[in-house]
Amino acid sequence: MADLVLKDVEKAYGEVKVLKDINLDIKTGELIVFVGPSGCGKSTLLRMIAGLEKISGGEFSIDGVRMNDVPPAQRGIAMVFQSYALYPHMTVRENMSFALRIAKKSQAEIDKAVDKAAKILQLTPYLDRLPKALSGGQRQRVAIGRSIVRDPKVYLFDEPLSNLDAALRVATRIEIAQLKEAMPQSTMVYVTHDQVEAMTLASRIVVLAGGGIAQVGSPLELYERPQNEFVAQFIGSPSMNLMAGEITGTGAKTTVRLANGGMAVSAVPTNAADKGLPVNIGVRPEDLVEAAGKSPAEAIFTGEVEITEALGEVTLLYFRRQGEAAQVVAKLPGIRPELRRRTVSLGADPKKVHLFANGTSLLYR
């Protein structure tokens, strides 16, 4: 059992507020991921939960007990860092049991805890090896094992995969997902700047930006129903396209005339007062489809493909629309390099067309 509650938590270094208005309820068994651009305060927030950083304002509690002034060792929390310094002269078993020996636990207790952790982490065959005879991913698992043996209520991870190469990152990410499954009652908070890690691991994602929380939700909620342009563009790769326009028709289906030629229909409902409202329409690259020969309502714009990138299972098409700062990207299934320099009409299902006014989704006002 470990429910974590952050209430109006803030952090200031001198005059500079790096975090404010952080309100968050984390339930036992959740794997919460903090994601956001570099410098947005992810590590700071995690370190405040760990007790390594003082909380400047607000309250943090575990299972209803205020933690603001409780020292790190008494919070029932284990933190796994990016760099996993193992003792090089100790075997895996010795590394994993070190903290328990310091705590003067009995040999039987130590063996039981280490064997259990090794099983969860699939380290049993390596218990008698030295760290130098392990791969990077195995060493990272030993580092996690050192936390597991202490049986903490809460695990905190700060970008644990960022030192690993690409293939190992994927493998270790899957291992962390399995680790979570093996310990359904433990609460985990995981920091990353990698949105794929966030999407694949999280039960809920907290997107941090500009010193506050931009949105909290399950990975698919954030993908399908982003509340603002920041979240819309942060989750998903390539990013959601945003194109300027103005509402011309209201009702259950909203029509938008694009500033630079074209028209979109969105299933986001609007009312008469919204007529003329300047908006950005948002469409994900994977939601744009070829619309040649379809009804005009389904085509959003027609343009020349500037560049194609054939990735194998999909081809990315890049359009430069006059007067628009960013390129528009479409992701079409299959291998389509022949579309370079061709003129293509693109449309989207109105249910997949987002509308934002002043950066906020019109779904959520």
Ligand X SMILES: Nc1ncnc2c1ncn2[C@@H]1O[C@H](COP(=O)(O)OP(=O)(O)O)[C@@H](O)[C@H]1O
Contacting residues toward ligand X, per CB under 6 A:
13, 18, 36, 38-44
Nearer to Mg ion, 18 or 244 (CB): 18
Nearer to Mg ion, 43 or 233 (CB): 43
Four-point Cα dihedral 347, 349, 351, 357, nearest 10: 10
When asked if residue 163 is in the footprint of Mg ion (CB under 5 A), the reply is: no
Residue 4: name its binding partner from Mg ion, ligand X, none (Cβ under 5 to 8 Å by kind). Answer: none
Q: Helix or strand or coil: residue 315? A: strand
CB of 308 to ligand X, least distance (A): 35
**CB distance 350 to 253 below 8 Å:** yes
DSSP element (H, E) containing 201: helix 195-201
Between the alpha carbon of residue 320 and those of residues 212, 243, 253, 274, 283, the distances in Å are: 33, 11, 27, 29, 15
When asked if residue 43 is in the footprint of Mg ion (CB under 5 A), the reply is: yes
**CB distance 48 to 10 below 8 Å:** no
Residue 185: name its binding partner from ligand X, Mg ion, none (Cβ under 5 to 8 Å by kind). Answer: none
Q: What is the largest CA-CA distance in the chain?
A: 76
Residue 39: name its binding partner from ligand X, Mg ion, none (Cβ under 5 to 8 Å by kind). Answer: ligand X
CA distance 83 to 289: 44
CA distance 130 to 176: 22
Residue 38: name its binding partner from ligand X, Mg ion, none (Cβ under 5 to 8 Å by kind). Answer: ligand X
Q: Which stretch binds Mg ion (CB under 5 A): 43-51, 74-82, 333-341, 353-361?
A: 43-51
Residue 18: name its binding partner from ligand X, Mg ion, none (Cβ under 5 to 8 Å by kind). Answer: ligand X
Residue 282: name its binding partner from Mg ion, ligand X, none (Cβ under 5 to 8 Å by kind). Answer: none
Nearer to ligand X, 61 or 162 (CB): 162
CB of 50 to ligand X, least distance (A): 12
Nearer to Mg ion, 43 or 68 (CB): 43
The number of C-alpha atoms within 13 Å of 195 and in the hemisphere containing its C-beta is 18
**CB distance 214 to 228 below 8 Å:** yes
CA distance 39 to 23: 19
Q: Which stretch binds Mg ion (CB under 5 A): 35-43, 112-120, 138-146, 281-289?
A: 35-43
Residue 182: name its binding partner from ligand X, Mg ion, none (Cβ under 5 to 8 Å by kind). Answer: none
The reply to whether omega before 333 is within 30° of 0 (cis) is: no
Nearer to Mg ion, 197 or 274 (CB): 197
CB of 32 to ligand X, least distance (A): 15
- Write out the two tokens for 295: 């009804």
Number of H helices, E strands in the chain: 8, 21
CB of 88 to ligand X, least distance (A): 28
Residues near Mg ion (CB under 5 A): 43
